[in-house]
Amino acid sequence: MAGGNVAQAGNETEVLCLGETMSLVAPAAPVPLEEAPAFTLSAGGAESNVAVHLAALGHRVRWASRLGDDPLGRRVVASLAAAGVDTGLVEMRSEAPTGVYFKDPGPDGTRVHYYRAGSAASTMDQDFLADDVIDDARVLHISGITPALSEGCDRLIRRLLTRPRRAPISFDVNHRPALWSARQAAPVLAELAQLADVVFVGLDEAATLWGVKTADDVRELLDSPVTVVVKDGAEAAYALGERRTVVPAPTVEVVEPVGAGDAFAAGFLSGVLRGEDDERCLRRGHLLAAHSLRSTEDHTAPPGAESLARWLALDEEQWGALRFDGSE
């Protein structure tokens, strides 16, 4: 790979994303929650964010989860469907609610407040989704958020990662301290990541979980996946597989950082689906992340095809000088 051998056929699903999505309440302007005069209500979830970005790039994407059969759940479904994501695998549950979370931008970064205990998504278990549905996709994308939601969700993720499979599994480590501590999560997330084909993890995240210092340390720890993608914030991103590929991050004037990791994963996977090499996949990841960093929304419209093509074609020196400051 970039990610392994992924053959294309007909109108099959390119990526199946599975995980919890909640209603997202965010200040309309990047100001603290308690001071904001107006708010936006949208859908936010790591895996569905990836799905929305991929759909905006023209890929055929399905999203699977459970939501409460309530106004917020129906709004989430409508929002993702309007973004071009196939929501036919979503189950609505009357006995459990849709989770909600709030973004709270501040001078020291953005805090996130979750209200997800007992959510409909947490009722998923190992029997969720039939094998033939899973096997219909060219790539399955999951994250380390799901196993933290409940014992049933943990069993589901383990089933997906250990069953015989026809297509690669993409796993974003996505440690959420609000769900479980680093001490609890570290051995579980390492075990699950070792079972995946493509793994995404932030270097700072890996340092907190496993005490590593460099991207190469992460690769030494996670030696089973085909490709380990390590994101080192504003510095660079690494694709570590048969080869070691490093692409520096473009300069970005950050408005709000939450959701940028999902955008990066979508950009990288888009490159994988197109059969591109790791350098180009990393560039796509950086470009989508840069646009996400420029907005308070979890998923913004990606750059246009012409802009993407122009930036992807930059030589190494031009790429190193690339800036996203609102004038691009």
- Cβ atoms of residues 121 and 19 within 8 Å: yes
**Angle at alpha carbon of residue 84, lines to 81 and 86, rounded to 5°:** 60
Long-range CB contacts for residues 206-215, cutoff 8 Å, separation at least 24: 206/173, 206/230, 208/175, 208/182, 209/173, 209/175, 209/182, 209/185, 210/186, 215/240, 215/246
Q: Which of 156, 170, 163, 227 is nearest to 17 (CA)?
A: 170
**Angle at alpha carbon of residue 300, lines to 228 and 103, rounded to 5°:** 85
Could you report how far apart the first and last alpha carbons of the chain are, in Å? Answer: 31
Length of the chain as a residue count: 328
Beta bridge partners of 110: 105
Question: Reduced to 3 states, what is the DSSP secondary structure of residue 201?
Answer: strand
Which residue out of 262, 277, 278, 298 is catalytically annotated? 262
CA distance 293 to 255: 6
Task: Give the chain's largest Cα–Cα span.
Answer: 56
> 220 is written with which tokens?
């030494």
Contacts of 61 (CB under 8 A, 6+ apart): 13, 14, 15, 16, 17, 51, 54, 55, 84, 85, 86
> 216 is written with which tokens?
């190469």
262 a catalytic residue: yes
In the 8-state DSSP scheme, what is residue 34? Answer: G
Q: 110 burial class (0-12, 13-18, 19+ CB within 10 angstroms)?
A: buried
> 39 is written with which tokens?
């708010």
- Cβ atoms of residues 47 and 143 within 8 Å: yes
Active site residues: 262
